Amino acid sequence: MLIELLRSRRSIRQFQKKAIEPEKIDILVEAALRSPTSRGLNPWEFIFVSQPDTLEQLARAKAHGSSFLKNAALAVVVCAHPDTSDVWIEDTSIASIILHLTAADLGLGSCWVQIRKREHDAATSAEAFVRKLLGIDPSLAVEAIIGIGYPAESKPGHDRTKLLDERISKEQFGVKG
């Protein structure tokens, strides 16, 4: 059941040195393409990267928070055509979580790297760095990178008692219980 997957899934940043089987990559591709999208506009583009030298360069996309990509077996760069849809950020975010959940269902670990509105260094945005590295058309926005691989770490799911139940209202804001 999906709730069991949600209960156990965690962001994984340490990966085994093990390639992902092509049939699992095919499933990840299909899952991304089946992601819900507003009005069926499909504004997203996905770049599946598995070359170690490119993964190592992607790991330098940001000063902090992307270095783990160098040890991932796969990185999925999630891009969008902003002119196609006014909700491209939402659509790419939905596709990203679909990739996370599919990876977990396949026994893989994953972690999100925010690219949009982040810096590579003082002179270059993370988006410009990734765009140049992968030859991405300037008309596309780069939203995120999802690092995927076989986990080399094990983390327990978040304890139910740690969830923010106080953020749940019933029928109207602020009505609890």
104: Cα separation from own chain's centroid: 12
pLDDT digits (tens, 9 = 90+) for 53-78: 999 999 999 999 999 999 999 999 99
| Tokens 């893989």, located at residue | 108
What are 138-170's pLDDT values in tens digits? 999 999 999 999 999 999 999 999 999 999 999
CATH architecture for residues 8-167: 3-Layer(aba) Sandwich (3.40)
pTM of the model: 0.96
Residue 177 confidence class, pLDDT cut points 50, 70, 90? confident
> How distant, in Å, are the alpha carbons of 6, 146, 166 from that of 102?
11, 12, 29
Domain boundaries, the chain: 8-167
- pLDDT tens by residue, 91-129: 999 999 999 999 999 999 999 999 999 999 999 999 999
Q: Between the CA of residue 48 and those of 51, 55, 74, 99, what are the distances in Å?
A: 10, 10, 7, 12
